[in-house]
Chains A and B, each alone.
Chain A
């Protein structure tokens, strides 16, 4: 038995080769599902497992599947491999090193919703990953594990890769669908949600790569097994992408409920040069700034516990900052990113990020007054709650909490 549920390549060499993967029971579960289970039975197991989406929003996966409109066909499955959140690099490792488990998860999930076509939407920079996955898909087709009449049943499934053109917003599921349809990558109005109106207007499920990679193990070991791996609030395991001022950055697969302290000091080897830790961003650039005091460090990382810190766990890309890092510099960086990535569809995000960027530049350059900091906070507040999608709402998290929780970093900068 592997130590890892998701990063099994760390225990089993060459698991990215089909024969090795199959020798380790690969596609046994898919076979079992297709030949002996009803789609609704698969969905039920995923529901009882408590699996929640790993892309950031944490929506219950099985529940999402159960929303599929069964009066409208065909159904599509889309794997979200856009992985664009700064500080997140888990899906890439999974796809590159344990690709078959992800593809098997995608295949099982497609079966569960009755999709005969599944797409993997990868960010444009992942073209090598897409090429690699294409080869793996071909191997599966050659082995009759994908294609028509899989395992002699009447179930057929094709998997295709699709490259984006370089937009953060295309990780948002409706913008992703627009992009796949050949349109501008901009979010749609919701409702309707993809399970009733998705790709090409057909019922569609969009799930993150990591989410799907959990699925074979969940079906194999049962929902309760998975529940027991995590906390009461958040079931299962998670790949935490750790980065910033730590000695050993990287991906760490740990159960939900692991504390920040365990991740940063035990797994991550502590802070570089043993400097004091100052702040944590738990969800990449979309994070609120967490003051890294003892209370925070001892907080278990699950969705509900992190919320008690007035922050979100999101995709669990943990960016660690020590006392050498100025928070005004950090928010200048995040706003620079969001200004660049705002799709321009809605006013507050498009104009607000441009405005905030002007202000953070000025503040960081030391050309601003305390009024400008106040204005920046006010502009961010005015964006809040008025945007079409989550991008605009995320863009202000670091700004608001940075100013509120690290006021000294700004006081020393302004005239």
Chain B
């Protein structure tokens, strides 16, 4: 890494680079930048925006989220185990004769099975989302950038990471500059 290229905020020692962060005024510019970067052959890059921009994820090559499968499996687990739990509790664990109904009177087990399905699917959704996104993540190199605080407010960012095989501090910066960003910043590791 070229020591002259290190960011001023990184302290006296030349820090390792996390990536180059380009800031855009509108979501369209960010999406266009992501598309162009993909065309250039970059693979380690991500967009950051204050609200979801579906085209950005499309441009990054993430057309479909895996969360549907995760939540389906979570819901299925809850429904099956909820049903079996009731079956066991009322047919074996503590079988009571209620109006001479069979111990395994499955229609009565439907509401709780449904509730268990919803409960586990929702919890899998929450914890699955957090886990798959790598959250909680209280330290992230991008938080070094002061400008990046606006990613949750009114600015749109594209970050090409230094781990990208095609990353070159000079050429990548030139490429990002050619996309008319508001700024291009080096983010230390």
Q: Bound pair: A and B?
A: no
